[in-house]
Structure 1
């Protein structure tokens, strides 16, 4: 047996020592976090329910857009902002809200954002005009963006060692399932809430769920003293905010020609984001408090790789569901509910695999992500080929096993990557780091949801309405992005063999960690 020692980076004096192996304490006993084990897991479920709700709202509304347009007499461009406005403000709030949670308290931001989300859901459901609905949705997006980074930060705060990996496994399952079941959930709600006003229940359903989560969160979330007080880097907020808006705005308006009209915002956004990076380095060099510390990218092992991988994966992953919905509904004549049920195998596989992956990532590390990406590529490629060449009457049944394989692979990607990206981030920076990670996911998702449907319509127009060729070609574009993510994972595994080892337990006194290697 030989000792494997790995040096920790930022702020290790404030990180609590934790066991590497699975916890075997009886339920209800105290842990290194200072909270009974059962109480911490109940608190986790509260955050997961809230996280599921806000992520579900990214996609659930899409199936209700035709009903909203008819009922409110809105134009296609205006009704698109019901989806786009939420996505835009969601991404805009993530990093500043993560930093605020680090400084003034994650519990406080979580509860405040959850209460605001519930109120905005009421306003959206009760909106009498499309303008009021869009305003409510944009406010709802801000609340969601403030809540989202607190989820991963609270996991960092409440759990350590192997328990943290299990918690991130559940968190990853929540992310994957919420992305996949949005169309299904929306279809079920519209099927149950009949009539021209039925779309309002898409928003009202958040109210009882959010209210219960708010009460339980108030009782269960840990009351921990906030981090070091300091001023918020307002210049950094302005730079990253304007940069994110400039990059996202053409993409969220892609359906109404936004990319063609607003293409010039892409280089503007890139310059602003580069300027944000340079500004943050300057603030850090002068001993200030940057919004997102540069050393997260340069010195925190696994963070830069994980953030890049997540952005590329969501670029290929997110747009696939829109393409499948277009194919099943417009190409095969399915109802919204049938269309959602057709991709259920992917959601089921992703949910089950993500929970298992939370236990495996401690032993397998980045290898698990590599295997997962291969599974997603194989599953989506097989599904695309079956939808292209199998008879339409049996195509959806033939593609179900392939989608199940892709879903299992996805479960081995999202939650392990979150764990490996954030596991060495100091707890006092967990909110900002989680916010930046999710910002990358939202940016990647926006690119994918613009590029893949764009490819679908382009192939459809050039092939004389060949829906089967269009779905195969657009899913192929998504696979190309996932292949790039696979390349990043393979490079990290080759250049950083330590990424395949279990994470070390930090030593408070010396800032080092030790694990045993056979």
Structure 2
């Protein structure tokens, strides 16, 4: 077995600095691709004016990225496991850079939607390689620190997107500033391609022959994910109730995927090894991630709408208002990565509880009918919620992947992130539906609609807390701490 295949070994065993440089390139790439999930939200009004896009076009600009992102995660993770993570990483970043440039040059809504779909797929290729790289280059407890940095990257990129988008639009102007939201990726992407090829470990010799891909598994998983996600991301555009039939249809296809993978695994390496769900750390950790992202991502969606449309704040101010959450998440993620091996799943439970307390405090400070000072009132509660979030994302990811073998690191991480994408889409659909229905029922009372939908988001986080407590209880029954 080569050094690149050994868990916890750097690509060059004598070069400690090289593996941290490789991780740095991966984190920059992860930040760039995850940033594009939220940065475009504040650019929607500018895109609408510049391209005369329909509401359906704008919805696809936002949700199409998330759809193809989730679609590519597991196949790309498996591709990296089988054919080398450096190859998959460089391919994904090159495609992401190219499609970012195409999006910035868009001359029609159709052009922009197509570029965003390809950009999302490219992001889905990149992200499992970063997590797989951590599994490959670091061993056991020492994974806590790099996963802490990755968690900080996830938290910051998700929360700071509206702020950076607002700044770019402010600098570039209302008419064309939205283009810089995409162009900013190009120089960073070019550098990441060069450094990724130089620093990431190469594919071990002979791996491709031992690890064939699973085309039918890719097809079944892709069809199932699309059927589940489509009615969620198109919840407001497709008015017919028949759209919800796609979800059970998707679950049936995913059940067929599970049966096929079970059969395929008897003879060859499957697209995703279902035996990973036998690990309590992986199964309950994936459930916590799905539920938490369902509540966590929806917060920024409704808060941005409340500030910009309901209260008339600029895109820049709306981005600044979310910054306390990003700062808290970044600080706590770094800490969580360092102490997760000491405290285990109880640390995740504490983080979820702190998030709920922070969201409850936001509801409290916005009681009544506030019409001014909302960003200032919510700063401390959002900081508290961000601190809790940092103790959730990083430690949960570290614990969830702790028992995943390195040869399945990419596909295991891809399935975990697919659950996060599904959770995000479902959370935004559910919380957004309550937000808009409350807005209609209260005849435009934005504050009331925001408070109600924020309570629903907190309720979804509470379900994640229940899953964490279940994991802790099971660990105690077995007479050992959670893995």
Fold shared per TM-score above 0.5: yes
Q: Secondary structure at the match of 2:421?
A: helix
Task: Return closer, same or farther for 1:33/1:434 CA change in 2, 3 Å cut-off.
Answer: farther
Compute the displacement of 1:145 (Å): 0.6
Matching residue of 2:122? 143
1:189-208 equivalences in 2 (<5 Å): 189-208=168-187
Q: Which has the higher helix share?
A: 2
Query: Given the alignment of the two structures, is residue 235 of structure 1 paired with residue 229 of structure 2, yes or no?
Result: no
Task: Return closer, same or farther for 1:502/1:243 CA change in 2, 3 Å cut-off.
Answer: closer
Task: Return closer, same or farther for 1:242/1:258 CA change in 2, 3 Å cut-off.
Answer: farther
Query: Given the alignment of the two structures, is residue 297 of structure 1 paired with residue 277 of structure 2, yes or no?
Result: yes
Query: Given the alignment of the two structures, is residue 225 of structure 1 paired with residue 204 of structure 2, yes or no?
Result: yes
Question: Aligned to 1:104, which of 73, 80, 83?
Answer: 83
Q: Which has the higher contact order (CA 8 A, sep 6+)?
A: 1
Matching residue of 1:186? 165
Instruction: Give the paired residue count.
Output: 478
Compute the displacement of 1:460 (Å): 1.0
Question: Aligned to 1:369, which of 331, 341, 348?
Answer: 348
1:198-247: CA deviation from partner (whole Å, max 9, x where unpaired):
21111110001111111221221122416463332111111110011001
Question: Aligned to 1:340, which of 315, 319, 328?
Answer: 319
- Measured in 1, the distance between the counterparts of 2:180 and 2:383 equals 30
- Measured in 1, the distance between the counterparts of 2:433 and 2:336 equals 33
Matching residue of 1:4? none
- Measured in 1, the distance between the counterparts of 2:180 and 2:436 equals 31
1:130-149: CA deviation from partner (whole Å, max 9, x where unpaired):
11111111111111111110
- Measured in 2, the distance between the counterparts of 1:499 and 1:345 equals 40
Matching residue of 1:90? 69
Question: Aligned to 1:156, which of 120, 125, 135?
Answer: 135
Matching residue of 1:133? 112
Matching residue of 1:512? none
TM-score (norm 1): 0.89
Matching residue of 1:475? 454
1:21-170 equivalences in 2 (<5 Å): 34-170=13-149
Query: Given the alignment of the two structures, is residue 423 of structure 1 paired with residue 387 of structure 2, yes or no?
Result: no
Is contact 1:162-1:359 (8 Å) kept? no
Is contact 1:155-1:164 (8 Å) kept? yes
Compute the displacement of 1:416 (Å): 0.4
1:447-458 equivalences in 2 (<5 Å): 447-458=426-437
Matching residue of 1:380? 359
Matching residue of 2:228? 247
- Measured in 2, the distance between the counterparts of 1:386 and 1:204 equals 38
1:384-411: CA deviation from partner (whole Å, max 9, x where unpaired):
2212337432443222111111100000
Compute the displacement of 1:36 (Å): 1.4
Question: Aligned to 2:443, which of 464, 485, 508?
Answer: 464
Q: Secondary structure at the match of 2:244?
A: coil
Is contact 1:301-1:424 (8 Å) kept? no
- Measured in 1, the distance between the counterparts of 2:321 and 2:335 equals 24
Q: Secondary structure at the match of 1:393?
A: coil
Is contact 1:251-1:259 (8 Å) kept? no
